[in-house]
């Protein structure tokens, strides 16, 4: 699995399971999807689903997938696995697979994912994925996990946390402009301008407010493994659950 993200959520297992397995809840907090819908199935069959991502206001890329979940013993662990694919020619992601693990601990639930996919578009797609799309997917996964945590722990709805996530950078940017703009217009001494620039830069180093989602709060490599670049993380990700091998491609 090429990407790994982990967070710890202080909530009940059933609450976390419902908000990650129910498509109506899942699409609310996961930045990677605009729509998720379960497809009809017969008893005993894995759950098939359709997903869509709105890339631009007038462009939506869709795909299909299959998923399954199970509980794992007396300690209350659970796992969910999936395979997915998109035939859309504008989708860089051709097909992939992944898992979610739910591990109870004394101070919450370790909620973690590992997933990987095969890009299309040949050489260009491989380069674009390595340097742009894969890091972006890793960031979006981590940001979404923290958004889910805020919902479960503090009752901050996904819509409200998205508003915080948009508003806070805008306010910081306006504060920077407010600090540097007058200095430039009034011709203040260079030392004053540099001091204001340093203070402005610090605004972007200060951690986000507690109810603003932040990817930095999540682990991006498994505990105990050396940190590696996101695009090379496949060597650091634990093996997928055995349940994944039972799923056929969508």
pLDDT tens digits for range 90-144 = 888 999 999 999 999 999 999 999 999 999 999 999 999 999 999 999 999 999 9
pLDDT of residue 204: 66
pLDDT tens digits for range 19-64 = 999 999 999 999 999 999 999 988 878 899 999 998 887 888 999 9
Angle, CA of 10, 229 and 244, to the nearest 5° = 60
Which pTM value belongs to this model?
0.85
Taking CA atoms, 90 is separated from 56, 64, 76, 134, 242, in Å, by 12, 15, 41, 16, 32
Confidence class for position 236, pLDDT limits 50, 70, 90 = very low
Mean pLDDT for the stretch of residues 60-85: 87
- Local structure of 75: helix, strand or coil: coil
Burial class (CB in 10 A: 0-12, 13-18, 19+), 123: exposed
Closest CA to 92 of 121, 64, 114, 67: 121
Residue 66: what are its φ and ψ, rounded to 5°? -140, 140
Take residue 204 and report the two structure tokens written for it: 């972007």
């Amino acid at each position: 699995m090429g990407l790994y993200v982990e967070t710890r959520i202080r909530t009940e297992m059933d609450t976390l399971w419902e908000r990650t397995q129910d498509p109506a809840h899942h699409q609310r907090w996961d930045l990677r999807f605009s729509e998720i819908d379960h497809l009809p199935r017969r008893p005993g069959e894995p759950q098939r689903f359709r997903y869509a991502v709105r890339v631009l206001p007038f462009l939506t890329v869709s795909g299909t997938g299959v998923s399954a979940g199970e509980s794992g013993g007396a300690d209350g662990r659970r796992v969910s696995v999936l395979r997915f694919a998109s035939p859309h020619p504008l989708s860089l992601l051709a097909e992939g697979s992944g898992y979610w693990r739910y591990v109870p601990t004394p101070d919450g639930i370790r909620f973690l994912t590992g997933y990987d996919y095969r890009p299309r578009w040949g050489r260009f797609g491989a380069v674009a994925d390595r340097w742009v799309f894969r890091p972006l997917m890793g960031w979006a996964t981590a940001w979404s996990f923290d958004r889910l945590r805020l919902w479960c722990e503090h009752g901050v709805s996904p819509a409200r946390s998205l508003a915080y996530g948009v508003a806070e950078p805008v306010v910081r940017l306006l504060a920077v402009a407010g600090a540097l703009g007058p200095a430039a217009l009034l011709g203040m001494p260079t030392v004053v301008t540099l001091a204001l620039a340093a203070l402005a830069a610090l605004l972007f180093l200060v951690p986000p407010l507690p109810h603003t989602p932040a990817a930095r709060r999540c682990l991006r490599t498994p505990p105990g493994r050396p940190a590696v670049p996101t695009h090379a993380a496949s060597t650091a990700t634990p093996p997928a659950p055995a349940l994944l091998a039972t799923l056929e491609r969508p």
